[in-house]
Amino acid sequence: MAIHLDDPKRLRRLRDQAHQVAMNMLRPVSRKYDRAEHEYPKELDMLAAMIDGLSESGAGEGAGASGVRRDAKPAEQAGVRNGTNLASVLSIAEMCWGDVGLLLSMPRQGLGNSAIASVADDEQLERFRDTWAAMAITEPEVGSDSANIRTTAVLDGDHYVINGEKIYVTSGERADSVVVWATLDRSLGRAAIKSFVVEKGTPGMKVERLEHKLGIRASDTAAITFTDCRVPKENLLGSPEVDVKQGFAGAMATFDNTRPLVAAMAIGVARASLDLTRDLLAEAGVEVDHDRPGQVQHAAAARLLQMEADWEGARLLTLQAAWLADNRQPNSLEASMAKAKAGRVGSDITLGCVELASSVGYSETELLEKWSRDSKILDIFEGTQQIQQLIVARRLLGLTSAELK
């Protein structure tokens, strides 16, 4: 099978549209909302309406989180596809060239929407089509091991009763609903973890506080408690059956689709830093020549070339993970590899560009310092760097989580 490393022709228009949005709508207000933490970016309402229109018309395949869904046809019947997952990572990378925090603040494009698109049945997809969903996974003292979730969901008649606490919920206050991960039975371990759509205003759900953060300050990040919170049993995403043999695989399907999206965010902000730094170096008289070895160029040019090579590796891993999802092939390993590589590279590149630009990079004269702050979270949420490396090692070595901790 031939391998093509260029962006697919049919997706280039969407990619270019996202770049124009990033340049003309997100960049101009980037600093404003970084300073005005927790203030809702009203400019996003019009943009969200545009994306909704594209999605409904079919012209914007993959233009938002709702695009993250596996094709219903097996790969052998559908042929090779460049579908919604690949379209999503391309458009998200361009949007984050503009601003990561604003992308994370987009109405109806939350990580919870990606979770719904990944595991909901057809009836639920239609019912939650217009919701803006945050995703609540992380808990106090649980850390990065999602399998140790303590929030419980107990069936009581036609409702599940949810009790627990979630922290670092992106868009937790602004969103219409929250996708909450909870266990049906802690004694059954990972297999009993399910996700539930809890709509805003449901009695028992309370936003306790908004966090002040290093980066992505335009995005609200909430701590939420659930106290005897009754949720209709139809709001459990996917099947309510606990399959011990399947284990955590059902829940992990969400991560297999969302981790490439986070990798794409890192790729976008890193590309922004590289582009600006190249321009700043040129203004200082340092030209970067891709046709000459780094060791015969200025040290700053050699450093930029090395960062661009790292960036390209992260980009290709991310495209691979998304392509596999579009073609209904297992991508858990590739999704974790992409997230690990892009998360690390994103932080390395944005901070490296601050260093190369010296005082200009460290000041608020340019957005480089902001991008270095924004990028760090992309190496942490949706599974930290260390967790991704563990997942990759387990899959390559054929070991279970109990055998390799």
Per-residue pLDDT tens over the stretch 176-225: 999 999 999 988 888 899 999 999 999 999 999 999 999 999 999 999 99
- B/e letters for 234-247, b = 16+ CB within 10 Å, e = fewer, are ebbbbeeebeeeeb
- Cβ of 291: how many Cβ atoms within 10 Å? 4
| pLDDT reported for residue 83 | 86
**pLDDT confidence tier of residue 118, bands split at 50, 70 and 90:** confident
> Which of 9-13, 302-306, 311-315, 342-346 has the lowest average pLDDT?
9-13
% of residues, the chain, pLDDT over 70: 89
| pLDDT reported for residue 60 | 52
CA quadruple 69, 134, 16, 369: dihedral positive or negative? negative
Tokens linked to 184: 């049906």
**pLDDT confidence tier of residue 4, bands split at 50, 70 and 90:** low
Mean pLDDT of the chain: 90
| pLDDT reported for residue 84 | 87
Chain-centroid distance of CA 384 in Å reads: 12
Higher pLDDT, residue 4 or 94 = 94
Contact 131, 113 (CB under 8 A): yes
- Over residues 101-106, the mean pLDDT reads 95
Q: Regarding beta strands 177-183 and 133-136, do their DSSP bridges make them parallel or antiparallel, or are they unpaired?
A: parallel
Per-residue pLDDT tens over the stretch 36-72: 999 999 999 988 887 776 666 555 555 455 556 655 5
Residue 75 has pLDDT above 50, yes or no: no
pTM for the full model? 0.92
> Which of 143-152, 276-285, 347-356, 369-378 has the lowest average pLDDT?
143-152
What is the number of H-type helices and E-type strands within the chain?
A: 13, 7
Cα distance between residue 42 and residue 87, in whole Å: 26
Domains and CATH numbers, the chain: 9-127 (1.10.540), 133-235 (2.40.110.10), 249-397 (1.20.140.10)
Max CA distance (Å), the chain:
73
- Over residues 129-138, the mean pLDDT reads 93
Contacts of 239 (CB under 8 A, 6+ apart): 250
- At residue 331, what are phi and psi to the nearest 5 degrees? -135, 15
- Over residues 382-386, the mean pLDDT reads 91
